[in-house]
Structure 1
Amino acid sequence: MNTPILLSLKETAEEGFDDRLQAGLDAWKTVKSWVEPRPQNLQQEIVAHLTGELHAVREELAYQNRQSELGLMVGQVAHEMRKHLLPLGLQLHHLRQQVIPTDAAKRSLQQLAAGLQALETLGSDLIYYLRQPEPRIHSQRLLAAIEPALQKLKPELEEHGIHVELDIASHLYASIDAEMIGRAISNLARNAIDAMPEGGELVITAYDQGDAIELEIADNGPGLELEIRPQVFDPFFTTKGQGLGLGLSVVAQIAEAHQGSINVMNCPEGGAAFTLRFPQAVPSIHRHAA
């Protein structure tokens, strides 16, 4: 039996339902009017986006091809340059033996030698940077990798009045490519020469860290400004008036190739200290005995 109250409640409920239904229908019409044209617009947006990405990929590939061609060309030029430097170096050696050793003649010959060495280093670093050869890692005595590099630099170090102090235990072995580590030491030593044109101390110390060796190359030059320290290992970064700024970048490549690292900090007493870290190794004779 429908009482007046029930009828009133029913009418109220029906009115509320109708209102909600109408609101839902209105909302659907609004959504429908917004959704219906979207597929075509969305398709156009997707095509435009993919076209833009394709264009960007083409540009990147073209850039990489140009860089690759440029790298090959630069590598070939560097190779040719080094090839012609060899006979020039031999001629300079003969000239030193024949020229009357006056002070003026010595200075001129030293300048010629320094110029040839700078070109040789530039060509060598360019070739290494472009080719990034894989290391041939073996267990080797650390001193055996470092001493030849320093011996080769001895005339240049003596000419600039730089005293080298080695603090490396003869029993320390490392898993290294000796030629690469020698190159890294040479580049760091030349960096120290540039930092100490009037002479100074170059101290090379090895620290046994158990599973790794830390090799510190420290000078007593002016050190590095704080703001440029994060950039010193970047390719082509240099604060010098000459060179391409590849020397320290090559050192960083060598450290990475050895699954190691390199960092730099200023010494409390002055100068800069570069620290190479790479895995230690036991001597081969011990490995065979095990």
Structure 2
Amino acid sequence: MAETLFEELKRYVGFSPEDTQALLALHSVTREHFARIAEVFYARILEHEGARKALEGGESQVGHLKGTLQVWMDQLLRGPWDEAYYELRCRIGRIHVRIALPQHYMFGAMNVLRQEFNAIIDSHYRERPAELNAVRRALGKILDLELAIMLHTYREDLLAQQARNERLSTFGQLVGSIGHELRNPLGVIETSLFILKGRLQPGDERTAKHLERIGEQVTIANRIVSDLLDMIRDRPLKSEPVRLADVWLSATMTLQRPPGVSLSERGLSELPLVQGDANQLRQVFVNLVENAIQAVGEAGSVELTARALPDAVELILEDSGPGVSDTIRRRLFEPLMTTKARGIGLGLPLVKRILERHGGSIAYVPRPQTSAGARFLLRLPLHS
């Protein structure tokens, strides 16, 4: 069987069974220091504006991240250092690409951990130099492996992202040309349809039905063209105080849903005003809720939960549908990516674009395995 990349990396740094035992011994010595090290780690990060900005949610998320770092340190020193460990570590590199974290911050952060662990090693193994050297070598190897894995995954995902950006650039040029060209024939069809309806004979229900169907399809075509053009152009954003509860009400009143599907919200009326474009934010709700209703089918629930953070508002939209598979998740916000039989994959990319233009974000957050359905996390900044 061919050697995996992780096996190759371990061989390259000389990771041995002796290193395994040394790290397990170090785990028992350092685990009581994990919380303190996490405090030092994030205090250092928050000193640097570039790294601080890359953290989703800013300082409001640091409490959660400190806990995550303690889990990371536990796995670092306890293992097992197998292929599952490798896959888990690969996700970190992908997150760095997604949040646009410059890699020099990662090297600096890893050095903070190296210094803290080495200080503990110096203190605990002071009277046992042979063990001290063995533990320090093992720590150096596992931290080097961590950097190698993160950099490899970062590079892979960054190259893939660049390829997607190139495709999107070509897509934008094509859409701009075709979209404008389609407006003319659609306008002619609408005009002719209006004239034909005016000449319709009383009682000719069959012809009236077909004319109605033509009108519906022209409306759908016009909406597709509008969505395509919205993806590539920067319509000026209005900047005015917006009450999200009003935007939600305006959006949901236009949506049709089966009688068996419930639609509800909690917390919107308690939110402070946000600064933005109400019409474009309305489109965010329309696209997300429309997708959720279609995913739920004839019976189920769609719920929006809102809360205010110190520097942002957070919205969580959940539905009781089948959720999103792992294979689709990473491409969920790419244009033309769709799982619908009649969809063209513009709804979620447009939502992402609108939110990012408002300084916000959207992410798909898997629900617990015990709960079915999709969950989207939205954030919009609060402007002072």
Do the structures match in fold with TM over 0.5? yes
Give the structure-1-normalised TM-score. 0.59
Answer whether contact 1:79 1:127 (CA < 8 A) is retained.
no
Give distance in 2, aligned partners of 1:259 and 1:229: 23
Relative to its length, the structure with more strand (as a share) is 1
Q: Which has the higher contact order (CA 8 A, sep 6+)?
A: 1
Deviation at 1:113, TM superposition (A): 8.8
Distance 1:114 1:66, change over 3 A: closer
Deviation at 1:260, TM superposition (A): 1.0
The structure number with the bigger radius of gyration is 1
Give distance in 1, aligned partners of 2:325 and 2:177: 35
Give distance in 2, aligned partners of 1:157 and 1:121: 19
Deviation at 1:171, TM superposition (A): 4.2
Q: Quick one: which of 141, 157, 179 aligns to 2:279?
A: 179
- Unaligned 5+ runs, structure 1: 1-62, 92-97, 100-105, 283-290
Partner AA of 1:202 in structure 2: V
| Alignment partner of 1:142 is 2:244 | yes
Deviations 1:7-61 (A, max 9, x none): xxxxxxxxxxxxxxxxxxxxxxxxxxxxxxxxxxxxxxxxxxxxxxxxxxxxxxx
Give distance in 2, aligned partners of 1:90 and 1:215: 43
Give distance in 1, aligned partners of 2:178 and 2:217: 20
| Alignment partner of 1:199 is 2:299 | yes
Give the structure-2-normalised TM-score. 0.46
Give distance in 2, aligned partners of 1:110 and 1:204: 35
Q: Corresponding residue for 1:71?
A: 175
Partner AA of 2:265 in structure 1: L
Q: Corresponding residue for 2:262?
A: 163
- 1:229-248 mapped onto 2 (5 Å cutoff): 229-248=329-348
Distance 1:129 1:209, change over 3 A: same
| Alignment partner of 1:188 is 2:288 | yes
Deviation at 1:133, TM superposition (A): 1.9
Give distance in 2, aligned partners of 1:194 and 1:183: 16
Deviation at 1:234, TM superposition (A): 0.8
Q: Corresponding residue for 1:95?
A: none
Deviations 1:156-179 (A, max 9, x none): 224x74221021332421122111
Aligned-CA RMSD value: 3.9
Give distance in 1, aligned partners of 2:266 and 2:189: 34
Partner AA of 1:174 in structure 2: V
Distance 1:134 1:281, change over 3 A: same
Answer whether contact 1:78 1:127 (CA < 8 A) is retained.
no
What SS is found at the alignment partner of 1:204? strand
Give distance in 2, aligned partners of 1:89 and 1:274: 41
